[in-house]
Amino acid sequence: MNRIFQLRAFQIVLIVIIAAALGYFYGTNKIAFSWKQFKPIVSISSKNPPHGQNLDMRLFYEVLDRVSQDYYDKSKIDATKLLHGAINGMLGSLDDPYTSFFPPKQNDEFKDQLAGEFQGIGAELSLSPEG
């Protein structure tokens, strides 16, 4: 009985050592998270409203048209800035600190800052209010 117990204990210890060694090897040599391979969770695949949402965009376009026609200084109107501001406002209404919009240029800069491979400790990257 003592011999069987020793054999079983040896097998368990051997399995644990092999599992730990394989985990260490795989973790240090094979896993590398690359932000270049990051795929966004949300993408725009259609100009139609999301399924199940019947949004009446007439008010949005009416305000956009009114600003385009009646704003006192038409030279300050930048349609792209207006669109990005509308998207920021829409996402801001969610009151979710983890949901944000980056205009394309800022998004490219942010991705460039994160480019490379990360491995090792579990670190968190976030935006500070200062930018």
**Straight-line distance from the first to the last Cα atom of the chain, in angstroms, rounded to the nearest whole number:** 67
Q: What is the mean pLDDT of residues 79-83?
A: 89
- The verdict on residue 14 lying in a domain is no
Residue 34 has pLDDT above 50, yes or no: no
89-106 core/surface letters (b: 16 or more CB in 10 A; e: else): eeeeeeeeeeeeeeeeee
Could you read off the pLDDT of 69-79 as tens digits, one per residue? 888 888 888 88
Q: Domain containing 70: what range?
A: 58-117
- The verdict on residue 35 lying in a domain is no
- The verdict on residue 23 lying in a domain is no
Residue with more model confidence, 40 or 126: 126
- The verdict on residue 101 lying in a domain is yes
pLDDT of residue 35: 44
pLDDT band at 56 (very low <50, low <70, confident <90, very high): confident
What CA–CA distance (Å, rounded) separates 127 from 43? 21
pLDDT band at 24 (very low <50, low <70, confident <90, very high): confident
pLDDT of residue 36: 47
- The verdict on residue 63 lying in a domain is yes
Q: Radius of gyration of the chain from Cα atoms?
A: 27
Bridge partners of residue 60, in order along the sequence: none
Could you read off the pLDDT of 84-129 as tens digits, one per residue? 999 999 999 999 988 888 888 888 888 877 776 656 666 666 777 7
- The verdict on residue 45 lying in a domain is no
- The verdict on residue 29 lying in a domain is no
- The verdict on residue 78 lying in a domain is yes
pTM exceeding 0.75:
no
**Residue 62 is encoded by which pair of tokens?**
């009416």
pLDDT of residue 74: 85
Mean pLDDT of the chain: 78
Q: How many separate domains does the chain show? A: 1
CB-based contacts of 23: which residues, under 8 Å, 6+ apart? none
